[in-house]
Amino acid sequence: MTAFPASIGRRRELGYGAAGIALVTAVWFILTYPFFVEVTEHRTYVSTGEMHTVRDPVTGEILKIERPYYSNVREVRRSALVNPPALDTPENTLRDAWELLTTRGPNPNLLEHIAYSCLRILLGFVISCSIAIPLGVAMGLFPRLRATIAPVVSFLRPLPSISWVPLAMIWLGAGELQKLAIVFMGSFSAALIYTLEATLKVDPNLIRAALNLGVGPQDLLIRVLLPAALPNILSGLKVVIAIAWTCVISAEIVGTQVGLGSLIWTSKETSNTAAVLVGMTCISSVVLLLDALFERLERRLVPWMFVGAQKEDA
Amino acid sequence: MSAAAVLQADCVTHRYGGITALRQIDLTIAEREFLVMLGPSGCGKSTLLNLFAGFEQPSEGRVLLRGDPIAKVEPRCGVVFQNYALFPWLTVAQNIAFGPSIKGIRSPEKIANLIRSVGIEGFGDLYPNQLSGGMKQRVALARTLANDPEVLLCDEPFAAVDAMTRQVLQEELSRIATSEAKTVLFITHSIDEAILLADRIVVLSSRPGRVKESLPNPLQRPRTQNMLLEPESRELKQYIWRKVREEVLMSLQDSSRAS
């Protein structure tokens, strides 16, 4: 007996999940549906094209002027509970998404926005991991190195990625290098700490067992330490990818016209809520997709973590 | 049992920080002897085993394997751990083949034989996570045997296994140790286990550990669970229990004084 009820089953979960999404969409639709109709009447000048002559009362000149004609005009204004720019309708948002997807003009296409953000993240992530993982493992193995680097890392870790923007701009300008630097600085210390913790968490009995079976010091790293630490390193890197996303969005606030961060910031300048929503949806979708891809990679690299225990005694 | 000494502790004292775990202990294990060490928790049984394995170095005295001091981790003394210490990223067969593969030896027949002899046929391609505790300990035993150690050092290997599985494993270990002609140092809390397995039973005193009693086991081999119910072994059991009980009480008093 567990304190909480067990799972409701895969199919029901999917059903309830779909219902949840439908509910949010419905609320959005209701909030932006133009329920309120406001009718105003005002007089307006209508051109008739009919000319007639009048004498100017001061100069006595004969003038040809159009006969003024005024008409009562009815204006119907529709409004919703929440109106743009606070929130745009689902249709407008979809239309904007479509326009962004199909544009070939001077403004970047939605796919370009996505591609640029992804490339910046992946490149920054790869660079930061390729330094952080070896260094983290080395810190796990050598207490002196650990003691030397730990305070520096403790200092770097609390800095949010956005706080690196000013220095990055002063040092590197506003180009791609600056974006990479922000992703790198934002994700490096997290990757380092996750790797260090994974290395320290390796069961010392496994190392004893390996030595007892005749493993030499050089084989120990490759054959025992790395595979033993790998599952925890990978689950740490999953968190680091999410951190890298927050970094790239901060980095794209300034100095670029392309990237999902830039898309939502520039759309905000023009109060284009629909485009902001499109950008946010894309960020979320890409993160989910990357997560799924990462889990595939994990299943490849650490298959033993995905096998269920058989509850059958010898 | 007049064969040459394989393992020897020569006036060994071992301290951790301010605690003396072992004091001036002398112990000799002869060729092909199955020696079971009994003692209260914290009496330094595992410490002595770790010294024989070379995981630690004694503070004073010497530990010897065939007369040579054990200066580093000694692959000739194969350890079977209580918590199995299997490599989770390797399959059962790969775990067993680990020791030979380090030396560049590939011998699938030998691995298959070991898998058969510990009774885990058909499990070779599973990961350790997929096995029960009893099965894991069989794999661990096979992995150690695959490395052809001269001595088996068993640190309460069956303590985490359920009682029924334990009986089966005890019988298998007894059979394998005899057929492979291994020298065994086996640590346990269980007097029954000691009587069932041992050629000689050593009772360690409470901390700091010393040899309190060393008695040969008169029971005939092969042994079965039923033999534990016979008068001869009940007497032996009562005798050992009196010895162990004194030490357990001592260590309880020590720990209550300390707290």
Q: What tokens appear for A201 in the block?
A: 């968490």
pLDDT of residue A2: 56
Across the interface, whether the CB atoms of A314 and B135 are under 8 A apart is answered: yes
Q: Using the beta-carbon criterion (under 8 Å), do A309 and B89 form an inter-chain contact?
A: no
Q: In chain B, how many H helices and how many E strands?
A: 8, 10
Q: Is A307 on the interface with B (CB under 8 A)?
A: yes
**Residue B258: its pLDDT value, please?**
64
Tens-of-pLDDT digits for all 314 residues of chain A?
457 777 888 899 999 999 999 999 999 999 999 888 888 888 877 777 778 888 888 888 888 887 767 778 888 888 888 888 888 888 888 898 888 888 887 888 899 999 999 999 999 999 999 999 999 999 999 999 999 999 999 999 899 888 988 999 999 988 899 999 999 999 999 999 999 999 999 999 999 999 999 998 889 999 999 999 999 999 999 999 999 999 999 899 888 889 999 999 998 888 888 889 999 999 999 999 999 999 999 999 999 998 875 544 43
Structure confidence by residue, pLDDT tens digits, B21-39: 888 889 999 999 999 998 8
- What residues of chain A lie within 8 A of the CB of B86, using their CB? 209
CA–CA separation, A298 vs A293, rounded Å? Answer: 9
The reply to whether residue A209 touches residue B134, judged by beta carbons under 8 angstroms, is: no
Give the model confidence (pLDDT) of B151-162 as tens digits. Answer: 999 999 998 888
Question: Among candidates A150, A129, A162, which has minimal Cα distance to A241?
Answer: A129
Q: What is the sign, positive or negative, of the torsion defined by CA atoms of B139, B141, B144, B145?
A: negative
| Contact between residue B182 and residue B189 where contact means Cβ atoms under 8 Å apart | no
C-beta pairs of A21-28 under 8 Å, 24+ apart in sequence:
A25/A90, A28/A87, A28/A90
Q: Which structural domains are found in chain A, ordered by start?
A: 90-313 (1.10.3720.10)
- Tokens 């490339």 belong to which residue? A119
On chain A, the residues whose CB falls within 8 A of the CB of B173 are none
The alpha carbons of chain B give a radius of gyration, in whole angstroms, of: 18
Integer Cα distance of B13 and B60 in angstroms: 5
What pLDDT, on the 0 to 100 scale, is given for residue A84? 80
What pTM was estimated for this model as a whole? 0.81
Residue whose pair of structure tokens reads 């005002």 in the numeric block: A42
Q: Are B133 and B166 in contact (CB under 8 A)?
A: no
At A273 the pLDDT is 86
Q: Which pLDDT score is estimated for B155?
A: 93
B121 — pLDDT class (breaks 50, 70, 90): confident
Tell me if chain B has a CB within 8 Å of the CB of A312.
yes
Chain B nearest-CA distance from A224, in A, is 8
C-beta separation of A179 from A252 below 8 A? yes
Let me know: does A291 contact A102? Beta carbons within 8 Å.
no
Whether A307 sits inside 8 A of B130 (CB atoms) is yes
Q: A214, B75: Cβ pair inside 8 Å?
A: yes
Q: A218 CB near a chain B CB, below 8 Å?
A: no
Q: Does A242 touch chain B (CB under 8 A)?
A: no
The confidence band for B1, taking pLDDT boundaries of 50, 70 and 90, is very low
Cβ burial of B10 (10 Å; 0-12, 13-18, 19+) is: middle
Angstrom distance (rounded) from CA B256 to CA B259: 5
Phi, psi of A140 (to 5 degrees): -65, -35
Tell if the CB–CB gap between A304 and B88 is shorter than 8 Å: yes
The reported pLDDT for the residue numbered B259 is 57
Per-residue model confidence (pLDDT) at position A130: 96
CB contact under 8 A, A307 and B78: no
How many CB contacts within 8 angstroms connect chain A with chain B? Answer: 92
Task: Using CB atoms within 10 Å of the CB of residue A43, give its burial: 0 to 12 exposed, 13 to 18 middle, 19+ buried.
Answer: exposed
Q: What is the ipTM of this complex?
A: 0.90
A227 to chain B, closest Cα gap in Å: 7
Strands (E), chain A: 36-45, 51-55, 62-66, 70-79
A69 phi and psi, to 5 degrees? Answer: -140, 125
